[in-house]
A and B are shown apart, each in its own frame.
Chain A
């Protein structure tokens, strides 16, 4: 029965979530040699991360969210605005109201810095910043009418990740693994990989599980070596001595449990050690690219150059998808200003660099997933926390200020109807005017694509059924295949 309503409409489930533990796992550990776990597992609780069906069947099994930290400019990337050329050098009409974030200089309407060209059979117009992604135009559903609640990076990013610019709510990834669990119990269900230049300025709230247990928290993955904190002990502890210690631990815990019949909480903890051992073996393997062919590495741009880092992360993302990780988020841009997509000073310099870092890797990721048949079961999301102004920052200045009133994101892969643009900004590319898509609508759509109803995916918290989209959100049916 449980399967049909995994998402907690009840007090009972609320209670369950609080004590959720790992169990029901294949009993393969070294500690299982004496069939110890066979004896305790029957009494152990079901795992909060065990995979479960959503509200309705869908193709998507995994999500890769390509987060463009710092906010790319829509009129220079995916929002083709030939009209803007007519207005070049003119101010934005006075009746367009906006907050001038940071009291920056206000210049004049400025058309795209690099030309747009049609891609694929659909002929979707995509900027020359992304010649690689353009090859996949027929896979993309570009949403040109996104809008957000904040013009400040920190809170807008938290908004894009959690639905609220107020900190403390669970992120999209947390809701997804809360609703669906994850396929591979030896790896985290929700993995976040930061840009090595830094994390988002608003930090942990971006991948937090908020009021849910930390089981649903995003796990920061490091792209080299041991991807998870504490996965390996200090160097001086060798495998053999750890083995000894684990045997001791097993003995201590087993005797302790034997004297305490019915101690399911103790059994669950013993099993968590088993999982830890498996993670020690499997997680480093997931980031180990030595088994990839040179051709694959080349395709992703893992070559020590400008594409190396994001290419590596995209390739790891594919490996994680293959291994059944539910939700993966990759950051492009980290820290402040020029290290992110925050192109106040120069679109060309900033986007030129950042687009070059990610275009080839994303091209490779889409191709690779497609060739492996994984794109049918993987949802790709691309976007930043908001967009940028169609006008420059000062006369003849080549940068653009923040703009939460209209910006673009795109979806591709499982369940997405590609080769289309949805919604539109005004003639200036300034604000979403047609089929406006709020962050809540994006979230509702993503959950829908994952087989989850954003209104039914609720978590009982202190007397209220909380949901990702609160009382808002609308599934954008037009982008569904």
Chain B
């Protein structure tokens, strides 16, 4: 939106110039629009605040028979006749009435003079009133956006040399009509910087600059465009445009920080799809209904399921305790997103009543709502208030049988090593009191369960964990260990029970029975010891209940774990809200470990024993008292390290095998139509509306939604139906806007009655057709044509004549000068300083960092993210940064400062502000300062001997062109003056020069030369 300042100036002087409007605007449509704006801005507020409460359909009043809520209303007039005679204020009853000349309106309260003057002026200029089309509602037959797309031939132009592409003829024809000359072509430096930022969000490198300016071939620019379209940077940049529209974030819920793990797969899917130039109709089908599409391979299936993250990820208030409200809000947002993104329609307005202006009845809203209510997006399985975003296990990417076997062999080997090391460690820990956090419980008295040759059966109930928080659930290595110890301290038998990995598929509180056997050897009663199988892990090994040992029919032990020695409930568990008795003892047992006898009331009155692993920290902090203990301690630490290494290998091997999940939607088991929610309230239901689409939008044929279908697939097909005029127009306009700054329809998300009308309606149709028909929805082909046009390649320079005729550049006589987007500023600074990390993809959350998963104990909320950005993520492109569901802060403050959209908003067009905090950021932030130092170092390293070359390079990097002789001199003068100053404080000439260089680099990064591209 580069021309805004001029728009505003034009607006300020509107009253003075409006009578001149026809002369300075290029065509009548433009003039009409300005007049309509005058009505909307100046006149309508007066009517609304002063008149409509007694003279409108909405108020239900027509005082004196007059309504003023439409052009027809005042034309028809009331009992006294026509209320307004366009062009004739003195003959208009309305004017007479506000002047208290005869009639007195508003009754008893004269309007301020200024308002009367506005009304007079309005009538004088012909009483423009765009509301004629909106009362009561636009007719689909007349709303431009709903008309079929026509196949217009490119118009004839006088300057036949100018057009490079047919689209230029549409643009030029308008300019010729308005007697405007387009600007000359931009120079090569400018053009390369423009296209590189537009296509990849990054600046051109000095090598790319030199290559292009020296390439004399006719297709030099086309080669550049192809190179950029083929680069991965294209997807990194254009995917962000799409994510702006799809409310993407890596975390969830209202706190902005609730942990969800798999959102990034959708982000990576978008990037990969755009880089692969997946045709947009397919792209849309996958995102709306990928789970319903046929597939040839697991890889394709994965991709299609992940794609539905488009619907699954959003600003859901998962903690909303009224789940019907949550569902209704989710559905509303999905409808809103699809309406705005693809159709340019505010369908959500019809949630409570028929759309006020656009032809969208409430029934249409609920026809769509039925589709999304039949789609599972969030689910609630309690307890607590939190819902979950629906997620689906992904089919494994295909691996060969040999690979699979090899992994399994390795795992078996590692697991057996793990077991023996764990046993050793547990033994050592028992001899080192205070060295462990681990729960270890031993029976006070030995149990008569060791008669020679008697077979004992050990049975118990085990659960993976009664904690729902994932980190505290067990994985495959974790489990319970039960040792049967002879009077002499040796072990008769050990049971290692691993409940198996708990992922989101299994209820962590479900106890399952398990049984084992052993045979007695007659060496005397055994002491029973319960511990975790993996004492090195900082996790729960699981929960155990109802331990019983029998010999034939005879029960020798029956432990319910229900009796604790103190009754103090020390806390409530996260999520489950179950009572926990920690730091107590169980009757009949001796415990050790900081939290020993961690008993949990998993059912009212029924406790279970929960086992927690030890920690490395504790072992490291232990202070062995004697030489013997020191020896044991050393040994324990050695084993601990070995175990740690084994664990890591097991985890990474398992990760390659373990199920992966995506946030994704699916159909509910029984799809149903939605009733109308009267006034939008879910507890006030009206008729059911069959699932379907917008009634005002054409399709080639109707697509029946079977009872068993949600209708998402049909909806997706309908969006890309060749007869639907909206999707291709809206998307073509979006692509155009990203490249040319302003849309042909400037309200890119809204093509309704109150939206802007196209400045070039024929061009828009031409582009929409070309995109959807000729290019078969190929984004890259479409972008290629647009940037190879003459229009795209013009200079951005000012032209005194053109800017008087068309100050807003709505005829595209120049390319706009644009500020870099938030992420381009960050990415470009990193690229220039040489610090940009080219690594791409994967989870941005760095969950392996200690403390990066928070809120696991003591409160009722699910885990949150700990805000640490891992080193391996920190210098990547912005799209790979973790996004909370709020405006970015901390290390990513730069995004908020430079107008990055709120992740909960559907944003087709970002605002572009100029505020002091941006200046403060560029001047003072640690980020810019640090990168300036890095940039100075980079230049020093590359051209250590030649300061002149360094300056040239600095200019190339930051502005896209080498420094001129004058700029060279200026920079040198600055460096000399600056280092002379610094020499006093730095006391060292070299250091002073380096500091001066850092200042110069910082200055360039904060300057308009860097910040704008043109």
Contacts and interface: CB of A to CB of B under 8 A. Distances in A.
B41 A10 contact: yes
B778 interface: no
A369 to B, nearest CB: 28
B9 A45 contact: yes
Interface in B873-889: 885-887, 889
Contacts of A463: 345-346, 349, 358, 747, 749-750, 752, 754-755
A304 interface: no
B1006 A249 contact: yes
Interface stretch (A82-90, A108-116, A232-240, A385-393): A232-240
A152 B321 contact: yes
Contacts of B380: none
A208 B886 contact: yes
A330 B995 CA distance: 42
Interface in B725-772: 746-747, 749-750, 752, 754-756
Contacts of A257: 1008
B982 A19 contact: no
A36 interface: no
B916 A279 contact: yes
Contact of B315 (A46, A167, A246): A167
Contacts of A45: 4-5, 8-9
Interface in A245-301: 245-246, 248-249, 251-253, 256-257, 260-266, 268-270, 272-273, 275-276, 279-280
A252 B1009 contact: yes
Contact of A233 (B902, B923, B974): B923
B317 A44 contact: no
A16 interface: yes
**Interface-centre pick from A46, A219, A265, A276 (highest chain B CB count, 10 A):** A265
A226 to B, nearest CB: 9
B803 interface: yes
Nearest to A259: B797
B216 interface: no
Given A21-B915, A248-B974, A272-B915, A11 B817 contact: no
A213 B913 contact: yes
A99 interface: yes
B981 A244 contact: yes
B911 A155 contact: no
Contacts of A204: 256, 886-887, 889
Interface in B906-950: 906, 908-909, 911-921, 923-926, 929
B12 interface: yes
A217 interface: yes
Given A168-B315, A270-B1008, A462 B346 contact: yes
Interface stretch (B229-237, B406-414, B535-543, B997-1005): B997-1005
A103 interface: yes
A22 B914 contact: yes
A265 B5 contact: yes
A265 B914 contact: yes
Interface in A177-220: 201-205, 208, 210-215, 217, 219
Nearest to A269: B914
Contacts of B133: none
B923 A268 contact: no
A241 B984 CA distance: 12
B914 A21 contact: yes
A364 B652 CA distance: 61
Nearest to B975: A248
B977 interface: yes
B329 interface: yes
A256 B40 contact: no
Interface residues of A, number: 97
A367 to B, nearest CB: 34
B156 interface: no
A266 B1012 contact: yes
A18 interface: yes
Nearest to A232: B924
Given A10-B40, A152-B321, A166-B329, A260 B797 contact: yes
B860 interface: yes
Q: Could you say which interface size class chain B belongs to? A: 35 or more
Interface stretch (B42-50, B460-468, B595-603, B710-718): B42-50
B915 A12 contact: no
B12 to A, nearest CB: 7
**Interface-centre pick from B118, B887, B897, B929 (highest chain A CB count, 10 A):** B887
A397 interface: no
A272 B257 contact: no
Interface in A40-80: 43-46, 48
B904 interface: yes
A473 to B, nearest CB: 16
A230 interface: yes
Contact of B916 (A22, A101, A214, A252): A22
B912 A18 contact: yes
Contact of A275 (B11, B358, B916): B916
A10 B1011 CA distance: 30
Given A166-B317, A211-B905, A265-B914, A15 B1003 contact: no
A17 interface: yes
A158 interface: yes
A184 to B, nearest CB: 12
B324 interface: no
Contacts of A244: 974, 977-978, 981, 999
B330 to A, nearest CB: 11
Contacts of A203: 255-257, 886
Given A18-B911, A230-B924, A260 B9 contact: no
A456 interface: yes
Contact of B924 (A9, A233, A260, A261): A233
A251 B6 CA distance: 25
B141 interface: no
Contacts of B349: 463-464
A165 B7 CA distance: 35
B1 A19 contact: yes
Nearest to A4: B114
B835 interface: no
Interface string A1-31: 1101100011111111111111000000000
A11 B254 contact: no
B887 A214 contact: yes
A252 B1007 contact: yes
Contacts of A166: 315, 317, 329
A242 interface: yes
B666 to A, nearest CB: 25
Contact of B118 (A1, A14, A21, A212): A1
Contacts of A228: 917, 920
B647 interface: no
B319 A217 contact: no
Nearest to B357: A463
B924 A256 contact: no
A136 B885 CA distance: 41
Contacts of A201: 255
A19 B899 CA distance: 11
A152 B911 contact: no
B2 A265 contact: yes
Contacts of B41: 5, 9-10, 12-13
A215 B1004 CA distance: 25
Given A211-B905, A234-B929, A272-B916, A12 B42 contact: no
Contacts of A18: 1, 4, 909, 911-913
Q: Which 6 residue pairs spanning A and B have beta carbons closest together? A: A19-B4, A21-B914, A276-B919, A463-B750, A262-B798, A168-B904
16 contacts: A10-B37, A18-B4, A43-B5, A44-B5, A102-B860, A103-B577, A152-B321, A166-B329, A215-B915, A228-B920, A251-B970, A265-B5, A272-B919, A276-B920, A276-B923, A463-B750
Given A155-B319, A245-B1003, 12 more contacts: A1-B15, A4-B114, A18-B911, A21-B913, A45-B8, A154-B254, A165-B320, A204-B887, A204-B889, A253-B1008, A275-B919, A471-B352
